[in-house]
Amino acid sequence: MTQEELLLTDSVIAFRAEHFETIKNWERQLAMDECAADLHFCYHALEEYPNLIAHLDAAEYRLDFAINAHILHGRLQEQFLDDGHTGPIALEHANNELLNIYSALNEKGPVGRAAIVKTLQ
């Protein structure tokens, strides 16, 4: 897997390094299914993408992927808020963008990978 496929952008890597305890807390919440709404969305939305889930399960990466997606989701919300959207609209746009990323990664061929790289730029 490439960094783009794992959603390990530079900002995600920096966040993970800077907030180690937060990541551990999120891992515990995911494992116990006690996570907050956004993290729950990032994790459980994966169920709709069987090729992506199979790939993540084979790499034993589902929890980390969901956490990376959660970090990216927060960045997307910030971006939409900075663009002048209200909180609920920014959240909806971030949800849709994340689902588009999942959908692109669910594709088996290079088209999906190209779409994810474009989305993350």
Structure confidence at residue 34 as a pLDDT band (50, 70, 90): very high
**3-state percent breakdown (helix, strand, coil) of the chain, nearest 5:** 80, 0, 20
The predicted model scores a pTM of 0.84
Indicate whether 120 pLDDT > 80. no
**What is the per-residue pLDDT for 32?**
94
102, 46 contact by CB (below 8 A): yes
What pLDDT, in 10s, does the model give residues 60-79?
A: 889 999 999 999 999 999 99
| Structural contact between residues 116 and 63, judged by C-beta atoms closer than 8 angstroms | no
In Å, the largest CA–CA distance within the chain is 40
Terminus-to-terminus CA distance in the chain, angstroms?
18
Q: In this structure, what are the phi and psi dihedrals at residue 85, rounded to the nearest 5 degrees?
A: -80, 150
Domain boundaries, the chain: 10-120
- Tens digit of pLDDT for each residue in 3-31? 556 788 888 999 999 999 999 999 999 99
For 43, 80, 81, the CA distances from 88, given in Å and listed in that order, are: 20, 10, 10
